[in-house]
Copies of this chain bind each other. A is one copy, B any other.
Amino acid sequence: MANARGGVSARDVAEAAGVSRAAVSRTFTPGASVAPATRAKVLAAAEALGYHVNYLARGLTRAESGLVALIVAELATPFRSQLVSALTARLQEAGKVAMIINTDRSDASVERALRQAIAYRTDAAVVLSGMPDQALADLCLRNGLRLVLINRDEERVGSVRIRLDDRDAGRRAFEMLRQAGCARPALATSFAGTTSLADREQGFLAAARDAGVPVLHETLGATSYETGLELATRLLSRPDRPDGVFCPTDLMACGVIDAARHRFGLRVPEDLSVIGFDDIPQAGWDAYRLTTFAQPVDGIAAASVDWLRTAPPDPFAADLIRLSARLVWRGSVRTPRTGA
């Protein structure tokens, strides 16, 4: 009981059990060779004293700390919190523990977050928001931590990116609107500049171009419910009112639906078809029944943790894992049958 915070250490246990400190260490190291009798004595003493291996000290001698940093902005958002939850669970299964670091998405705050991760010698940092430049990524590498970039576009040597087929989903969204008989499709976008968002939008626009159909397009604020509300208000106030709209985010789509219904007295999908992206829980609620693309949240988490466990560290490779967004058909898009 002689350390800085008065906890119980391996030495206390060793004394109580009448063995060496090494024997205590071995007892708590899977696979180490300890005689059953020794082991039993150690375990008994440890239990009696309330001993727990100090992972901080262990992290100092071993190559791994067991810590993984999750770098994220706006954690309270439905999609974000689902992803963090899945990541935390998967990490736990793999014997790691998640440390969460908030950012505001600015370069400075992402840098601060990463430096924090380095200081704690986390085994890896999973970036959900913002984007470190290559110099920062190199700094991480040099300090022995691996980088997982989720839904980020630019490649960084020594890291893995996990991406969806956003562009393709955007195209499919357009096709669905066409098949639903929408004559005036619209796109509601935000100023949040992440590439996964941009890809969804580009895909939609490209498909429209190919089909020779003009699209009504409004852009505003963040990817929030409130933005959806306001965007719909603008779109639906136009003389050439759209009859179908694709939102790169479910939160925006919920806002669009509510504005259409409650502020314009429109019916969804009869008067306006709406397609979202993410498949947050609210998308399945009776008030929305939103047709949307589901992000494979658990698949993303599993792929991240798997890569960390199995991919050999390679400071020159920039890995890429592509996952698919699955269409979830609910009631917010007209079917040809229900059609106007």
- Footprint of B on A, CB under 8 Å? 4-8, 50, 52-57, 59-65, 67, 74-78, 80-82, 84-85, 88-89, 92, 97-102, 115-116, 118-121, 139, 142-144, 225, 229, 254-255, 257-259, 261-263, 281-282, 285-288
Contact = CB atoms under 8 A, between A and B. Distances in A.
A99 B99 contact: yes
21 contacts: A4-B63, A5-B121, A7-B142, A50-B139, A56-B60, A56-B65, A67-B99, A75-B81, A75-B88, A76-B78, A76-B81, A76-B84, A81-B84, A84-B100, A97-B99, A98-B99, A99-B100, A262-B286, A262-B287, A263-B286, A282-B282
Number of copies: 2
Which one of A56, A67, A225 has the highest number of Cβ atoms from chain B below 10 Å of its Cβ? A56
Given A7-B142, A7-B144, A75 B64 contact: no
Contacts of A6: 144
Given A6-B144, A285-B225, A286-B229, A60 B63 contact: no
Nearest 8 A/B pairs, CB to CB = A81-B81, A258-B286, A5-B144, A287-B287, A76-B85, A75-B85, A262-B286, A4-B63
A5 B258 contact: no
Given A60-B60, A76-B85, A50 B100 contact: no
Contacts of A65: 56
A115 B52 contact: yes
Contacts of A142: 7-8, 50
A254 B287 CA distance: 9
Given A142-B8, A258-B286, A97 B101 contact: yes
A334 B89 CA distance: 43
A141 to B, nearest CB: 10
A260 to B, nearest CB: 10
A64 to B, nearest CB: 7
A35 B142 CA distance: 29
Contact of A287 (B89, B258, B281): B258
A100 B88 contact: yes
Contact of A285 (B77, B143, B258): B258
A94 to B, nearest CB: 13
